[in-house]
Amino acid sequence: MRLIRLFKQLQRTLIRPLGEDLMAEALGSLDDEIQKLGDSEDEIPLKIVQIKIDGLMTLTTSSWANLD
C-alpha cells in the first residue's frame, strides 16, 4: 500500500470524523507527511498496517471500557 494513500485514508476515516478542531495537531502532522511524500511511490506492507490498526483499535476499545 502506498504511504500517501494510507495517510489520506487515516485522515478521512479516523481523524476528520472526530472534528478538525479537536484533531488539528494530528491533521497537521498528516498534512506535513503527505506534502513530504509528494508523488512518492514509497510503500508499506499491508500486514504492518493491519497490525498497527489492530493495536490502535485495542487501545481505543480498552480506553472506552475503562471509563466506567
The residues pairing with 2 across neighbouring beta strands, listed in sequence order, are 43
Is the Cβ–Cβ distance between 38 and 7 less than 8 Å?
no
Global pTM reads 0.46
Tens digit of each residue's pLDDT (9 = 90 or more) over 29-67:
778 888 888 888 888 788 888 888 888 778 777 766 666
Place of cell 485495542: 58
Q: Tally the residues of the chain.
A: 68
pLDDT for 66: 67
Phi, psi of 41, rounded to the nearest 5 degrees: -105, 15
- Name the residue ranges covered by the structural domains of the chain: 3-65
User: Which of 36, 44, 38 is closest to 6 using CA atoms?
Assistant: 44
Residue 45 to residue 48: CA distance in whole angstroms: 6
